[in-house]
Structure formats: structure tokens, C-alpha cells
Amino acid sequence: MRKTHVFTAVIEREGDGYVALCPQLDVASQGETVAEARANLKEALELFLETASKAELSQRLRDEVYVTQLEIAVG
């Protein structure tokens, strides 16, 4: 039976497309739409998890990642 993991995806516009990043494993991908960037990141994570050694996984995997927003007054 396969084990399921939940990872964080941060997706932001870059030029004419979108970049998707998983901060827990420092894996990124891109796409022309948010949905495409998300799907491409999922595929990149699946491939990474299938091929990475246990040593690389333990080195990269971050247990706690917090995504938040900060409000800063400028000018």
C-alpha cells in the first residue's frame, strides 16, 4: 500500500506564466496557468520521491514550513 504525504505548494506569477515551489523539498516547476504549474509540480514531486535516495530525502525534507503574509508600510 502506498503512503500519502501532504506537501505545501507556493505558486506565483512570473512573466507570462507561473512558478510552483514545494518548500519542504525545494522542488520547483512551472506552467502557463496556475492549474498547469500545480500539476507539473505534483509530477516533479512524484518523480523526485521515486528516485531520491533516503539520504537526500532526509537532507532536504523540512518538517515545518509556514506560509504567511506580512503587511509592511512603504513610503
- The model's pLDDT over 32-75, given as tens digits with 9 standing for 90+, comes to 999 999 999 999 999 999 999 999 998 999 888 888 999 999 98
Domain 1-75: state its class.
Answer: alpha beta
Q: What is the pTM of this model?
A: 0.85
Mean of the pLDDT values across residues 9-37?
97
Return the domain boundaries, the chain.
Answer: 1-75
The answer to whether the CB of 28 falls within 8 A of the CB of 45 is no
Which pLDDT does position 5 carry in this prediction? Answer: 85
Residue 22 CB burial class (10 angstroms; 0-12, 13-18, ≥19): buried
The answer to whether the CB of 20 falls within 8 A of the CB of 11 is yes
The C-alpha atoms of residue 6 and residue 19 are separated, in whole angstroms, by: 19
Mean of the pLDDT values across residues 15-34?
97
